[in-house]
Structure 1
Amino acid sequence: MPLNVGLVGAGMIGADHARRIGTAVAGARVAAVTDIDPDRAAAVAASCGARTAASDREVVDAGDVDAVLVASWGPAHAESVLAAVAARKPVFCEKPLATTAEDCLKIIEAEQASGRRLVQVGFMRRYDTGYRALKRLVDGGDLGEPLMVHCVHRNAEVPESYHSAMAVQDTAVHEIDAVRWLLDDEITSAQVLFPKRTRNRFDHLRDPQVMLFETASGARVDVEVFVNCRYGYDIRCEVVGETGTAELPPPAEPAVRSAARLSTAVVQDWKDRFADAYDTEIREWTAAAAEGTASGPSSWDGYAAAVVTDAAVRSQQTGDVVPTGIGRRPDFYA
């Protein structure tokens, strides 16, 4: 029997996950789709042979829905995830898990009360081949004790609706999760600095930004966010240890020799850069969901991302080093 997935949110990423479940994932199908826009829900449902539903609660409560995938607007995530946990159904939630740390804690409490892991958060970097190779090197001790991590997150451009806080909340949040995972270490403080502004930006946006983090063990992390770099989508990560360093490999692109030049294309879109990671992420989620549980980034990881981004946004406003105030990870999420 296939795993029947209920999709909450049929926007760009929700539609892409529906396509992915139908083409790149074995043993699963989309059974029901809901969206605030009924026409959009109907179009996605028709594309994957599913039915439409009037609300997220109708999807969650449906007898033929075994697991729930939440890809709706961020402020609606907590309600849908809590409903799925109450129904004891595995749920995949695109980031953010919730838009407040308080709502993340409610999810953590509900999940622990259920007695088993049910929630996976959509931090797809952990499923990228290069990041997984980097993680193996760190865990294997090949680099010695990690001392520093250098990260770069660049976009060619962003729309006018993009604002300065989004550089933390929507962009650097991926580096925040990836660093916590790579080092198995919590981030205890955040500071944001603003270099000279690029002219290729809207007046309301501070771009680029440099984010500085410290972990509980004392490791230092810097993240450059530059969302109007103009040349492409460029993700970099280097871990510096006591006995060696390791860098994230660039995406595989052919080297072209032409017109007296040797060149390699730069990826232009995040969907292309992490397409394989998204496929692996959903495959691993559906495999765990078929067993009635969850794997990968947890509710605690969603909460940790929330408190670190909150601290970084406060630092954007003050320039101060801001403690995250993160507590001890519950044994439930060890």
Structure 2
Amino acid sequence: MADWSIWKTLEDWRSKRHELDPIFARAGVAPELESLANRLATDLRRAPPTKPLLSGDIDRDDKEMAGYYEAYYRHFDESLYKAETLVRMPWVPEAAPTGRAVLAEVERIRKEMRTHPGTHPPFEPLDQLIQQYIRLDDPDLSIPADLMNARRQQLIDVAGYPLTVQHAIKDPYDDSVPPLSSEEFRTQLHEKMRQYLEQDWLHCRVVTQWYISLALDAALARKKRDATDDERIRAMLKRRWPTLSVVLPELEHIDQVWYLLLSMGAIASLIMEIWWLAIPLIIWLNLSVGGHRRERKEMEARRAQLASRAQSLKTVRDRFSHNQLTLERIAPMLRQLDEKGEYFDDHVFALLNLHQFSV
């Protein structure tokens, strides 16, 4: 996939999911608008219906002319309706004043055609307004030249971020994205989510689904990591046997050194028959063995609990990726699976809230 590009991937998704059309349009990417404008220009140049021949019968001629006037109006009104449809489609918000000018011109043309049946005013001003609307070159508007480029870059960097991560995961030689289970990736993901939440024009169910899927993948990776990391599981225990590793967790193998010293002290005390020291040391060592066995059992129970929750999370992730769960239904499930907020933070639920009441 040497020729892979995020923009091409986004366009492929747009061709499959038309919910993405509005955010592309707000970034100035809407080929269908240009096609519609070209068809509209062609329609406006079509020849009108032929005027009927008069027979001399006043009643009959009046009916024929009334039908002709109505057909003449409908002939061009269809094109005017297309013009209204065009400016009501998603497009760059800054072009809205030009869109209102198009609607005003359409209304003026209709009034002229009703006032003067069988004729129409010139369509050139309307065509010019539509072209200015599409090209964003209305002289009355001051749209920055780099605005569209900036939005397209945001489309790539923010909306396309989940797709970039998915591609990086599939490519074993791509190290542009940190491991999903790392804190670095979690920080990066939260930053992208924050940017997505701040850009209202990017909000779209499809993009939100991408981010939630990525959050589920990251949470699943962290749960699997936690289930296999003894140090993390040990840190989760509420009660631990008092050892030096509790006080000095940064020192590796400190417990082994400590118990070795205690054992040597107990042996030396026995040899020298210092019973008041040997007996407490032996009792403490035996209690420590029991304490560590209990701690190991608690760790295994905690590991099994993490593995079970990881399996439940995987089930939810799979159902969500297969569109069996909606954004509205998955929120309470995530809260239930992560009661302490270790894997899903406020950013995730803020994304879900974007679409809780949308139709």
TM-score in same-fold range (> 0.5): no
Q: TM-score, normalised by structure 1?
A: 0.21
Q: Which has the larger radius of gyration?
A: 2
User: Relative to total residues, which structure has the larger strand share, 1 or 2?
Assistant: 1
Q: TM-score, normalised by structure 2?
A: 0.20
